[in-house]
Amino acid sequence: MSTPIIAIKGLSLAYERDGVRNTILADLDLTIARGEFLVIVGESGVGKSTVLRVLIGLAEPSAGTVRVEPRPDCRTPMALVFQDARLLPWRRVLANVAFGLEGSGLTRAQRLAKAREMLTLVGLADLGHRWPHQLSGGQRQRVAIARALAVDPDVLLMDEPFSALDSFTREGLQDELQRIQATTGKTILFVTHDIDEAVTLADRVVVLAGAPGRVAAELAVTVPRPRRRRDGALAEAARQLRAELSGRSAEL
């Protein structure tokens, strides 16, 4: 394996509220290889999202180091897709996608051209003129993905991005995301609590468990892409992962 694009070492995060110390993460080690699709699974409240928040700079770690090795000309090493799309309601879809490019030195025309390209990539080329409230939940999440991809990050961080969608839309977007990764070659760090989603998407699954959260298990998913749902090998990977997870919670 080449040098990891992200190397997290000894990451801890704790905060104090009303005199009570709350430890979210303790001594977490994690590396992500360039081009890898890494999925973090774990129960709610185990600190999965916190890892992403630290990486994007929305949370300050109490201890530990995060080393990022972006490609040399990269302006924004990482971009985050939130669980709820969080589009800016006063901007049309196209302007939402162009949001992260403002202040990048591009002209308005260049920004909008890039935004149009990204909308096409997520299959919404015709909806640039709409307001966010005129979109379905799945479309909103596609726009959020386009907005993150528009800044051309080295790593795409995704925080349970499909968990609020119905299962039909969710599976469609999972396929779409794999296609996008194949097209763009992005490194993706994806957080979910859905085991089937994890094995469908991942090259490697990391199980986060415990309070405070730490890496409890790891599983490489070697099933070739494009993956078919109900593939026996995927089902086997999901079974292993469930065993890991239930084993862990039995220990706790």
Partner 1 sequence: MTAFRSTALAALGLAAFLVFWEAMPRLGLINPAFLPPPSTIPAAFLREIELGVWGEAVWSSLSHYVVGLVAGAGAGIGLGLLSGMFSGFEAFTAWIVRLLRPIPGLAWVPFAIIWFGVQPSAAVFIIAIGVFWIVFFATQGAVRGVDRDLVEVARAFGFRSPWARLTKILLPAATPGILVGLRTALGQAWMAVVAAEIFGVPGVGARMMQASSLLSTDIVVVYMLTMAGLYGLFDTGFVALQGWLLRWRA
**Smallest distance, Å, CB 158 to partner 1?**
12
Q: Which is nearer to partner 1, 99 or 164 (CB)?
A: 99
Can you tell me the distance from the alpha carbon of 193 to that of 197, in angstroms, rounded to the nearest whole number? 8
To partner 1, the closest distance from the beta carbon of 139 in angstroms equals 15
CB of 100 to partner 1, least distance (A): 4
CB-wise, 53 or 214, nearer to partner 1?
A: 53
Q: State the Cα–Cα distance between residues 18 and 172, nearest whole angstrom.
A: 44
> How many CB atoms are located within 10 Å of the residue 146 CB?
28
Q: Please, which residues have CB within 8 angstroms of residue 142's CB and are 6 or more apart in sequence?
A: 122, 123, 124, 173, 176
| Contact between residue 229 and residue 175 where contact means Cβ atoms under 8 Å apart | no
50 versus 200: smaller Cβ distance to partner 1: 50
Which residue number, 19 or 103, has a Cβ lying nearer to partner 1?
Answer: 103
Q: Of 149, 134, 148, nearest to 93 (Cα)? A: 134
> How far is residue 193's CA from residue 174's CA, in Å, rounded to a whole number?
14
Give the angle 120-179-38 at the CA atoms, nearest 5°.
Answer: 125
Nearer to partner 1 by Cβ, of 138 and 210: the residue is 138
Give the residues lining the site for partner 1 (CB under 8 A): 56-58, 76, 79-80, 82, 84, 86, 88-92, 99-100, 102-103, 131-133, 151
Q: Closest CB to partner 1 among 160 and 244?
A: 160
Minimum Å gap between C-beta 230 and partner 1 is: 36
d(CA 143, CA 173): 12
Amino acid letter at 167?
S
CB atoms within 10 A of CB 77: 18
| Residue (163 or 178) nearer to partner 1, CB | 163
Secondary structure, 3-state, 121-163: HCCCHHHCCCCHHHCCHHHHHHHHHHHHHHCCCCEEEEECCCC
